[in-house]
DNA sequence: CTTGTTTTTGGAAGCGCTCCCAATTTTTAT
DNA sequence: ATAAAAATTGGGAGCGCTTCCAAAAACAAG
């Protein structure tokens, strides 16, 4: 069906290859009459220019890669990534990019992926989920000169472009909210501390406590990994330290934490207040009205692609950083609605 | 860095472009001496052949597309899709394909996607999630001759290759299990009935009941959509009909259903037995030991890619169908463990 | 040391497209 | 009307690669 070439279309219209090319690419210098004729023929035949040929001559593949390192093990557990991917897909659609997905699975060495990513011509740019293990790979990619946007602040590489949300401020905002409601023993279930997200949110928590003159009780700090199970386990672990409020670093974990509380016969927020992080749809379902920090996951994905597109067009230096804001969503799990009554 | 061409490598090695090409593609007719020399040079320089140039001349892009229609709204709610995608990604890695992800988002018309998919040369083949709305698009793609594998039985198009699990048998197996345990009023919360999965599982349910001489009570049948919320709502709706067991068409919905039961003070399985479908990790977490139908989601994804690869190599006709088996996973939510004690 | 056979190598064509440049046509000004 | 300027068009080169074919080199046998 579509084994047609530019040349074929040209012949059928009695014009030259170049003219057809101009029509396809909306170049101005084509007479209306010819343009109409060619457009009609293209429509009739269903002709599509050959992507590879185009990519070869224009040195643009119109494909961007999304790399999710293996350590993102919450990929099929936490709705965060699917949502992010939706945003990225939307961004790609808008800018006419095709999205290439590179999930690094167990069998595949980080070594093996590099050639595939840097294979010249196959990718116009790369979105790379930040990740401790991947940091060396990030360095190599950056050096290869390919436009690269890290999703989430990378570990020790600050002279590289990345997009992130302001996790520290967000955590501070969350803890401030708890403090303002009068809670005294505020704990936290953190994200994985081998990620910058995990670290930043934890630091925000500490910082907020210190600003209010609270001391940080290490028994009130438990490391999680963003999964519901770890939220459940984390809450069980933190409970002996008798928190009256807990800042949980993801909604998914918050759900697990609340489940643990309920099983212990404790009420939320009366016995323990819970504040989550993410504000994904699940956080406001029928039996759960979680107070949480809203982060614009979908928009974040869209923005990441726009950012990458910018780097592709204008060059990768100097590295730039985009930090997106978050906001507090007050629902019922912290008791603010009770106090206001 | 990698702006090198074959020609450059050739020059550095004092051989011709053709020879370097042979080395890269492992053609036999190269002397060992030269081969070693060229391989070393390639390694040293980090040279990668230009993907587009290759694709142009060989008419193979080594990219396959995965299309998820908009109607897959449980995409970021149900762990099924992320898991499937992992399997597909794994299959692609194994066979050296790049995975192109096409999420049809709101803004994008089904019309718009067709040209992007059929653009000659950009895709070697397509995996297409079955979906009622997409059926016309599927027809057009099939006609364009591009290798195409539908994921899940398509609606009215049986002369096209697809891969599916045997949903009807699986549902029968699930209901048989309930019957064998002595339950009398067996209900179902179905999947969305505008999908073949939803329909097939529901038909299996009916068929099993009929085989056992039960009449089908329509009050015991409620339509869901695979989301937890609909599972919750479905159970509330079905409860007045006093089921003693319910076949829920996905684990995610089963979780919602169980939540509804618990809120009503009903016990699982003592008051109402629940059997789910999927057997994703979530179905066997701390407070939930769901009896369910295991479907090999990950392997299903891998297999789909292998199947597509087959079509790419050997041609798309005649259409073939791959049906994968399922198995019952007996845990605690149906009471089998109690009876056995 | 020929001749014939096999293996290895280089050159050239061409995949389908874009883009430059020169040739042609059209428009405008005189 | 003609000359000059502007708009439109066609031809050719070339993007980086594979692959065919013919030339060259290596090897075997007489």
State which nucleotides on strand C lie below 7 Å from a protein beta carbon.
Answer: 7-12, 14-20
Compute how many other C-beta atoms are within 10 angstroms of the C-beta atom of residue A107: 10
pLDDT of B177 higher than 50: yes
Residue A55 is assigned to a structural domain of this protein: no
Strands B148-151, B98-103: pairing is unpaired
Is the pLDDT at B304 greater than 50, yes or no?
yes
CATH of the domain at A26: 1.10.260.40
pLDDT class of B113 with cuts at 50, 70, 90 = confident
Q: Which nucleotide is nearest to A54 (CA to C1')?
A: C17
**Domain presence at residue B129:** yes
Averaged pLDDT, B128-150: 85
Are residues B38 and B23 located together in one domain of the fold?
yes
Residue nearest to nucleotide D19 (CA to C1'): B18
Mean per-residue pLDDT for A207-235? 94
What pLDDT does A228 receive? 87
When pLDDT is cut at 50, 70 and 90, the band that residue B85 belongs to is: very high
Q: Which residue has the tokens 């980090």?
A: B46
Q: Which of B4, B107, B120, B226 to mutate to test the interface with A (most CBs of A within 10 A)?
A: B120
Please tell me which residue of chain A has the smallest CA distance to B141: A1
Mutate: best of B58, B71, B98, partner A, most A CBs <10 A: B98
Please report, for the domain that includes residue A282, its CATH number: 3.40.50.2300
Is residue B309 domain-shared with residue B216, that is, in the same domain?
A: no
Domain count, chain B: 3
Tell me which chain A residues have a C-beta less than 8 angstroms from the C-beta of B90.
103, 105, 107
Q: Rounded to a whole number, what is the distance in Å from the CA of A52 to chain B's nearest CA?
A: 5
Task: Specify whether B313 is located in the same domain as B282.
Answer: no
Per-residue pLDDT tens digits for A152-190: 999 887 789 999 999 999 999 999 999 999 999 999 999
Q: What number is the average pLDDT over the span B154-175? A: 93
Q: Is the pLDDT of residue B303 over 90?
A: yes
The pLDDT score that the predictor gives to residue A308 is 97
Better-predicted residue by pLDDT, B211 or B1: B211
Nearest nucleotide by C1' position to the A55 CA atom = C17
- Cβ B101–A85 below 8 Å, yes or no? yes
Asked if residue A187 belongs to a domain, the reply is yes
Across A124-133, A317-326, B46-55, B304-313, least confident range: A124-133
Residues B161 and B70 in one domain: yes
Same domain, residue pair B91 and B237 = no
Residues B221 and B137 in one domain: no
CA dist B204 and B167 (Å) reads 7
Residue A288 falls within a domain, yes or no?
yes
- Measured between CB atoms, does B76 come within 8 Å of chain A? yes
- Name every residue whose Cβ is closer than 8 Å to that of residue B214 and which is 6 or more positions away in sequence: B179, B186
- The continuous run of DSSP H or E covering A189 comes out as strand A186-190
Does residue A58 belong to any structural domain of this protein? no
Per-residue pLDDT band for B162 (boundaries 50, 70, 90) equals very high
pLDDT digits (tens, 9 = 90+) for A87-111: 999 999 999 999 999 998 766 666 7
DSSP state of B161: -
Residue A185 contacts B, CB cutoff 8 Å: no
pLDDT of the residue at A172: 98
Beta bridge partners of A322: A163
Q: Is residue B57 part of a domain?
A: no
Inform me whether the pLDDT recorded for B340 exceeds 60: no
For position B341, what pLDDT does the model report? 45
Same domain membership, residue B283 and residue B301? no
pLDDT band at residue A72 using 50, 70 and 90 as cut-offs: low
Q: In the 8-state DSSP scheme, what is residue A278?
A: E
pLDDT, one tens digit per residue, over A251-282 is 999 999 998 998 899 998 999 999 999 998 87
User: Which nucleotides in chain D lie closer than 7 A to a protein CB?
Assistant: 7-12, 14-20
Domain span at B243? 167-295+328-340
Q: Which two tokens stand for residue B274?
A: 């629940």
Residues B334 and B219 in one domain: yes
Quick one: B132 and B205 in the same domain? no
- The mean-pLDDT minimum among A275-284, B151-160, B282-291, B293-302 falls in B282-291
Q: Which of A199-208, B54-63, B110-119 has the lowest mean pLDDT?
A: B110-119
- The whole-number average pLDDT for the span A74-91 is 86
pLDDT at residue A286 in the model: 59
Verify whether the Cβ–Cβ distance B101 to A102 is below 8 Å.
no
Q: Please identify which residue in the block is written with the tokens 């048989």.
A: B176
**Do B256 and B336 reside in the same domain of the chain?**
yes
Closest CA to the C1' of C13: that residue is B57
* CB proximity B300 to A under 8 Å: no
Q: Which residue in A56, A98, A287 is closest to B259 by CB distance?
A: A287
In a domain, residue A223? The reply is yes
Per-residue pLDDT at B327:
96
Q: Are residues A222 and A281 in the same domain?
A: yes
Minimal Cβ distance to A93: which of B56, B105, B144 = B105
> Per DSSP, what are the bridge partners of residue A221?
A188
B198/B334 same-domain check: yes
Q: What is the pLDDT of residue A107?
A: 60
Give the one of A63, A86, A143 whose C-beta lies nearest to B103's C-beta.
A86
Confidence of residue B286 (pLDDT cuts 50, 70, 90): low
Beta bridge partners of B299: none
On whether residue B54 sits in a domain, the answer given is no
Instruction: Give A71's pLDDT tier (boundaries 50, 70, 90).
Output: low
């Amino acid at each position: 069906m579509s084994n047609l070439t530019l040349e074929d279309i040209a012949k059928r219209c009695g014009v030259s290859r170049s003219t057809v090319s101009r029509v396809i690419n909306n170049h101005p210098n084509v007479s209306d009459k010819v343009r109409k004729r060619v457009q009609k023929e293209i429509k009739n035949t269903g002709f599509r220019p050959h992507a590879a040929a185009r990519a070869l001559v224009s040195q643009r593949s119109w494909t961007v890669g999304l790399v999710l390192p293996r350590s993102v093990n919450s990929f099929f557990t936490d709705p965060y990534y699917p949502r992010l991917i939706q945003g990225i897909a939307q961004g790609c659609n808008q800018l006419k990019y095709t999205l290439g997905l590179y999930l690094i699975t167990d069998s595949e060495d980080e070594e093996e992926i590099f050639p595939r990513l840097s294979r010249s011509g196959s990718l116009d740019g790369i979105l790379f989920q930040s990740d401790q293990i991947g940091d060396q790979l990030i360095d190599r990619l950056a050096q290869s000169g390919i436009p690269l946007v890290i999703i989430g602040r990378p570990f020790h590489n600050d002279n590289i472009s990345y997009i992130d949300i302001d996790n520290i401020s967000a955590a501070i905002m969350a803890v401030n909210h708890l403090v303002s409601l009068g809670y005294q023993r505020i704990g936290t279930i953190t994200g994985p501390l081998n990620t910058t997200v995990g670290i930043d949110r934890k630091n925000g928590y500490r910082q907020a406590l210190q600003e209010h003159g609270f001391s940080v009780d290490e028994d009130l700090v438990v490391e999680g990994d963003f999964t519901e199970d770890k939220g459940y386990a984390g809450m069980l672990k933190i409970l002996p330290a008798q928190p009256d409020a807990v800042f949980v670093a993801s909604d998914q974990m918050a759900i697990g934490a609340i489940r643990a509380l309920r099983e212990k016969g404790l009420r939320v927020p009366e016995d323990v207040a819970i504040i989550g992080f993410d504000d994904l749809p699940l956080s406001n379902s029928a039996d759960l009205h979680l107070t949480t920090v809203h982060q614009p996951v979908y928009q974040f994905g869209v923005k990441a692609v726009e950012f990458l597109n910018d780097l592709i067009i204008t060059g990768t230096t100097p590295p730039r950083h985009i930090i997106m804001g978050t906001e507090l969503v007050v629902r019922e799990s912290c008791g603010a609605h009770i106090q206001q009554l």
